[in-house]
Amino acid sequence: MSMKVAATRTRVGKYELGKTLGEGSFAKVKFAKNVDTGHHFAIKILDRDQVLRHKMVEQIKREISTMKLIKHPNVVKLYEVMASKTKIYIVLEFVDGGELFDTIAKHGRLKEEAARRYFQQLIDAVDYCHSRGVYHRDLKPENLLLDSYGNLKVSDFGLSAFSQQVRGDGLLHTACGTPNYVAPEVLNDKGYDGTTSDVWSCGVILFVLMAGFLPFDEPSIVQLYKKIYRAEFSCPSWFSTGARKLIKRILDPNPLTRITIPELLENEWFKKGYRPPYFEEGNDSNHDDVDAVFNQNEENLVTERKEKPESMNAFELISRSQGFNLENLFEKQMGLVKRETRFTSKRPPNEIMSKIEEAAKPLGFNISKRNYKMKLQGDKSGRKGHLSVATEVFEVAPSLHVVELRKTGGDTLEFHKFYKNFSNGLQDVVWKAEPISEGSR
């Protein structure tokens, strides 16, 4: 969006699209409202050609059809699929409690009981989807969301295939974005079985929840891969014996001897306080929408309609920029840290852009600019290589701009570290609103 005051509403079928919730290398997720019911959803938007070019249409069709049947309390629900001429829209449950890892970024590591509870929910979700023939293949912090009750919801089951490739040998092959969570056999590219590699990623996640840092973390990719291949890591002193033993069994570099989910469910440490989830099976057997998307049947396509532009009024501006000063940048509703943040500035846009560039360069980022958007891509050789950030400048009034920063790739904890350093370099372009005195309220 270039510099403009108007915010256009976009309609797709019966959904009105809102702000961008997340952005990855192959998809964007937007907030959406069903205009008939007023209910909230998240819509994942993919490039249709890219998807249909993959030799994976059958697998994706099968997995999306299966995901429509899944109503597990720890899995983000997939409601329907639509397509326009250029895009595929996947309508998902909207989960409003932020990412699980935001709690670590904010409060540090979790107590063992809390970590175990989330791990039990994660294994329940993974086990259930595996039993239906759906594998995640890309479990990482961004996929672990919390609902408003603090329950874990795993997102992107059955969708990670979009960003993967399958070869003729029937095994999965991937070029992964965040190698820290990925099993050695996946990095080795020998082909792998989705069940055992998902278990490995769950083990890395459990380690991070309890330690507050990654088991495998090296500044150079070569060193990182070596450590993962050999499963070279050490547990912090505060891990209990039961947790250590279990993590050693999960982070076993040999997928054939690695602990399986049935074995895991029998593990003493895992079973402590375990409550199996209660839920009813889904019964939506209508897959017409999935067929319509992939059969390129013109009459079933939806159109993306722009409603008349609405200028951003004061209310909307205030709701978009909670907190005008740097201290408040990470504070937001429910006290959670998200993957994006924003600030206001009274400086001219080109000055804002060059300040962002100046602040990002010494942190090892490559920068690409277009209009008033900028992408910061971490230098591939270092650990920052996994982090990418999109920034955008909006004009909301003459000489008042809102600048949004959004994480588009990489580790959540990395983003928080980056942001702390980065914000120091922006002190002089950020407009700090005068505090309102008690008497003027």
Catalytic residue IDs: 138
Q: What whole-number distance in Å separates Cα of residue 158 and Cα of residue 162?
A: 9
- Which residues are part of a known binding site? 44
End-to-end CA separation in angstroms for the chain: 35
Query: Who's near 363: CB < 8 A, 6+ residues apart?
Result: 384, 418, 421, 422
Element (H, E) at 427: none
Residue with tokens 């993306």: 304
Cβ atoms of residues 322 and 334 within 8 Å: no
**Cα separation, 73 vs 297, whole angstroms:** 34
Structure tokens given for 349: 């846009």
For residue 142, give the nearest of 251, 62, 25 by alpha carbon. Answer: 25
Note whether 34 and 42 are within 8 A (CB): no
Which two structure tokens, joined as six digits, stand for 40? 């909230």
Q: Return the bridge partners of 11, or none.
A: 16, 305
Question: How many other CB atoms sit within 10 Å of the CB of residue 206?
Answer: 23
The separation between CA 369 and the C-alpha centre of its own chain, rounded to angstroms, equals 24
Residue 130: Cβ-neighbour burial (10 angstroms; 0-12, 13-18, 19+) = middle
Give me the residues paired with residue 31 across strands.
42
Nearest to 114 by CA among 77, 60, 150, 63: 150
Could you give the CA distance from residue 441 to residue 437 in angstroms, rounded to a whole number?
7
Q: How is residue 369 written in tokens?
A: 């600019």
User: How many CB atoms sit inside 10 A of residue 305's CB?
Assistant: 11
Binding-site residues for ATP sit at 44
Find the helix packing angle between 241-250 and 194-211, rounded to 10°.
150
Amino acid 163 reads S
**Centroid of chain to Cα 194:** 20
